[in-house]
Chains A and B, each alone.
Chain A
Amino acid sequence: MSAELGLLSLLLALGCALLQSYAAFSKDKNGAALAVSAARAHAVAVLASFMFLLAAFAATDFSVTSVVANSHSTKPMFYKIAAGWGNHEGSMLLWALLLGIYGAAFAQFQGGQTRDGRFAVGVLGLLSAGVLAFIALASNPFWRQIPAAVDGRGLNPLLQDVGLIIHPPLLYLGYVGFAVPFAMAVGALAKGTIDANWAKRARPWMLIAWGFLTWGIALGSWWAYRELGWGGYWFWDPVENASLLPWLVGAALVHSTLVLERRGGFPGWTVLLAIVTFSLSLIGTFIVRSGLLTSVHAFAVDPERGLAILAYLVVTIGGAMTLFAMRARDFESDIRFTPASREAMVLVNNLVMSSAAAAVFLGTLYPLLIDAIGAAPLSVGAPFFAATAVPLFIIGMAAMGLAPMAMWRKGTLMQTVGQSRFALGIALAGFALTMALKPGAIMGPLAVGASLWVGAGMITHSVRRRKTLWTLDQWAMVLGHIGLAIAALGMASTALFSTEVSQAVVPGQVVQLGKIQARFDGITGVTGPNFTAERAQISILDKTGKVTRVLYPERRFYPASGMPTTEAALASTVFGDLHVTISALTEKGGEKTIIKGWAVRLFNRPLIGWIWVGAAMTGFGSLVGGFGPGWRRRRQNLVARVPSKSAS
């Protein structure tokens, strides 16, 4: 039953979304109120639809095709339910759900107040209607099959991990969140104007989306680090890059909007960034989901879906861009600032973020382009991005460390650098020390110096303002930037000082990695809820040979999917991780495969945990900045209400 109810709710949501935009675009004076109500109903209907889908997954209803394809009777209940959004159809519905919720929230708080806000509600309704129609027609998760299957085909066991259960919702909260500034930009282009007031209304939405996107990306990388078993955390694969693109342009957007809010500067550029950020979010979701990024040919496997996605992208992006081209000239601003002012620093940020995005975009799509024109295939991997995006980031961080010392509108470079003497000293010391520790490296020491420069700059800024009352915006900025410095330091340290060893072992043998000694004690077989595993016991020894820590890396096998996976074991401290995996050494003897022994792989990753701690801080800072204004307003309202009550 729940599948039919789910589809019905989906169609209801589609109807509400269409009504939402009709009411918002109509000239009727009651239209605004109707649009807000429709937006609310639309969100509730998608939520119902999503809940019905989860119910079908919880009940393991093997007459529903998407349940058969993605679930299995032996799965633990938690993963059964989570499988509901761990697949193409379900994740599209999740996307639509979040768009519905964002749309309703925007309509509720800002939609009815202004003409351009009302137009934006209409745009959000159209965006939803398009996605809902796509789900109903080409990507229906409620499809039934008769007869029902006996059992499901499982889910990729790599995906059976808490990190990956919450990764897609967080990532989508980011992607979809950029729909709101996009719609507001379109609304302002069509009906209003782009000014400081627009920026004040739009910026919280951008910060919320960017904060969630940061968390989503960080969580995905943390998952890769723990599950893929290679000790790496970022592989520059097309899917990862697709999520990085809106993050980069989004970072440019939140900064240029700040200038618009404070000084009324860069209106046209900001609106363009808002459009591009959401366009990249759309491309990120849909192109990844269509399989285009893995290969041009995968796109043609399901041409109906591919064409529908393409049409949606062309209409959305093309429409907004056309509107922008028509109106961009109207938004010129003539503000004055010196080349060392806060505004100038934001320009450097925007330049760096856009160029880095271009590098990632080009690096991701170039192999496809080469493939499409039939030239000799080539690969673009980590070394390319390390040679393009990384130096750009270092330039960006140079400006980032200077920005909090810079004043709005005025100031000279000498003044600003003069205020950063402490940070400059720390950065140079860090650079020199790293050069001494790792002779011959240049980018790594520069990255260390840049991270310290940003971190120390933020500390200087905070110490200087310690006696003033901090606004939430200021907390957001300091948290976000210190987080980024911490993450960058973790990345630089991991890139510079990681060591690894892999060695065949017999029980009792000690593997040496620098000062670390790890003893392989042996293998035992264990049985999990829906897998079997060989679990190794690895004892970490101190200098005297005493056991300080025992680790249990596993090699799991999930019979439902026939896939073995590596479960790394981690010994984490503030200073870094010891990452341990095992693999079986085998030999083919005719038909049979014989286990000849085991190999242990040790990775020493200094400060790697700082990457995720820093990224979590950055995301949190962004969310503080995003939710802050609304929260403060509520509190002020409450405070304002109390005395009036006591008076009456």
Chain B
Amino acid sequence: MRVLMIVLTALILSGASAPERPLDDPAQESRALDLFKELRCPTCIAQSIHDSNADIAVDLRAIVREQITEGRSNAQIREFLVARYGDVILLRPPVNTATLPLWLGPWLIFLFGGIVVFVALRKHNTKAD
């Protein structure tokens, strides 16, 4: 009896989840899994809904699967979720003016560094003199 009580408490605390059914069509299910990995679990710190068992992640997985069976495209599903939760739901931030420094930054540094390296290679080249 005591063990049962502990088990029950554990279940309540763990955020009891409804049975999760993968989609019957393997191609659709694999699309769903890929989408899960790029959607953030809103109550977690850095986890995707693929990697979380929080109630909200379970719900979102069900929503994504449902929309896939309804024949919606990945873009439409993303749009739907962004309308509901904002850009914060996307683990791949959209490219816009607010995220331009983020997306371009590493490549600008690489480009700038590349020019520096190129100049250094020319300067130090033994053949140059």
Contacts and interface: CB of A to CB of B under 8 A. Distances in A.
Interface of A: 228, 230, 232, 235-238, 265, 294, 334-339, 343-344, 347-348, 350-352, 354-356, 358-359, 362-363, 366, 370, 375-384, 387-389, 392, 409-410, 500-504, 525, 532, 534, 555, 557, 559, 562-564, 583-588, 592-593, 595-597, 599
B113 A294 contact: no
B20 A380 contact: no
B87 A363 contact: no
B113 A351 contact: yes
A131 B61 CA distance: 46
Contact of A362 (B16, B20, B89, B106): B106
A384 B87 contact: no
A294 B16 CA distance: 26
B99 interface: yes
A355 B106 contact: yes
A557 B8 CA distance: 10
B47 interface: yes
Contacts of B7: 525, 532, 534, 557, 595
Contacts of A370: 98
B109 A381 contact: no
Contacts of B117: 347-348, 350-351
Nearest to A373: B98
Contacts of A599: 19-20
Query: In the complex, which of the residues A378, A587, A595 has the most CB atoms of chain B within 10 Å of its own CB atom?
Result: A378
A564 B13 CA distance: 8
Contacts of A366: 93, 99, 101-102
A525 to B, nearest CB: 6
B37 A583 contact: no
A381 B12 CA distance: 30
A586 B53 CA distance: 13
Contacts of B16: 584, 586-588, 593
Nearest to A387: B92
B84 interface: no
Nearest to B88: A377
Complex A-B, nearest 3 residue pairs according to Cβ-Cβ distance, in ascending order: A381-B91, A237-B46, A359-B106
B121 A359 contact: no
27 contacts: A228-B51, A230-B47, A265-B124, A294-B45, A351-B113, A358-B106, A358-B109, A359-B106, A363-B102, A366-B102, A375-B98, A376-B86, A378-B87, A379-B93, A381-B48, A381-B92, A384-B103, A502-B22, A525-B3, A562-B9, A564-B10, A564-B14, A585-B17, A585-B19, A586-B17, A587-B18, A593-B12
Contacts, number: 172
Given A235-B46, A362-B106, A379-B89, 10 more contacts: A230-B47, A237-B46, A337-B125, A354-B113, A355-B109, A383-B37, A383-B92, A500-B33, A525-B7, A586-B16
B113 A595 contact: no
Contact of B20 (A355, A358, A502): A502
A343 B125 CA distance: 11
A504 B109 contact: no
Contacts of A377: 86-88
Contacts of B22: 501-503
B8 A585 contact: no
Nearest to A601: B20
Interface string B38-61: 101000011110111100000000
A118 B40 CA distance: 51
A491 to B, nearest CB: 15
Given A584-B11, A593-B11, A381 B40 contact: yes
Contacts of B80: none
Contact of A235 (B47, B88, B105): B47
B51 A232 contact: yes
B96 to A, nearest CB: 10
A557 B10 contact: yes
B114 A338 contact: no
A228 B117 CA distance: 42
A331 B38 CA distance: 47
A496 to B, nearest CB: 13
Nearest to B18: A587
Contacts of A597: 19
Contacts of B120: 347
Nearest to B44: A237
Nearest to A339: B121
A410 B126 CA distance: 8
A320 B3 CA distance: 59
B1 interface: no
A238 B47 CA distance: 11
A237 B105 contact: no
B64 interface: no
A605 B13 CA distance: 30
Given A377-B86, A379-B88, A559-B6, A583 B17 contact: yes
